[in-house]
Amino acid sequence: MNYFIEGIQGSGKSTLVAKLSKRYPSCTVFREGDYSPVELAWCAYVTKSRYAEILDQYYSIRDLIEENSYAEGDHRVICYTKVITDIPGFHKDLEQYEIYNGRLSFDEFRRIVFHRYENWIGDDMVFECSLFQNIVEDMMLYRNASDSEILDFYRELARILRNKEFRIFYLTTENIASSIGAIRKERSDENGNEMWFPLMMAYFDASPYAKSRGVSGEEELYKHFSHRQDLELRICRELFPDKVTVLESKAYSDNEL
């Protein structure tokens, strides 16, 4: 069996991943930024020729880049956040080669996502926010896709996944502001300065979704998360009804797992 742990930010996905990895120690856990067979969050996806150029450009850390790079056909995946370096601009430079945030045409984005899921073979894997979060945020915030367009995307993905063994644990939260407030504190430095939330707000406010609607700020972000949660639950119930277990965030029992 394989497990997809899903839910909006602050719903407790990392905690649930830790519980499952403890319960099933034989499972391999894939978090954002790891090299994953299905997900490309925090990874650069580049052609072989561009990869060679990157190695030349950052020759002083060539070995570190190669240690965190993986071949996929005529492309290379660079887990660039795993490369610890103080070279100015390295991580920002590699960020531009991620597949999310509208960086690719929709046809190319769709092709890459579906191709990787089609080629995925394996058991005993636990994936943190790999099925929904980055794909849905890309489509909602950067492509202004409608709910029906996103559902159509997942209908095709459900067809691709129809013969694969997996379970979705979806963590729901009723009080989104409270859930986000908790991780705002958790993701602050030792002086209490928030590290994550200002980046999250900037990401939302700068999105085509927010700009086209003339909205910004915390309340609009929370409305977006509420909409996203409702849509992801609809996808689960309509397209993966026999594959999903819905859990109340931070209020479920181990017997429900």
pLDDT at 142: 97
Q: How many residues does the chain have?
A: 257
Query: Which domains occur in the chain, in start order?
Result: 3-37+105-256 (3.40.50.300), 43-97 (no CATH)
pLDDT at 238: 98
pLDDT at 121: 93
pLDDT at 257: 76
Q: Reduce the DSSP state of residue 143 to 3 states and report it.
A: coil
Closest CA to 69 of 84, 80, 53: 80
Q: What is the DSSP string of 89-102?
A: THHHHHHTT-STTT
pLDDT at 86: 95
Grouped pLDDT means (10 residues each) for the chain, 257 residues: 95 93 94 96 98 98 98 97 97 97 97 97 95 98 98 98 96 92 87 91 96 96 97 98 94 80
**CB 160: neighbour CB atoms within 10 A?**
16
CA 20 and chain centroid, separation: 19
pLDDT at 185: 86
**Cβ atoms 66, 55 nearer than 8 A:** yes
pLDDT at 19: 92
pLDDT at 191: 87
pLDDT at 181: 86
pLDDT at 251: 82
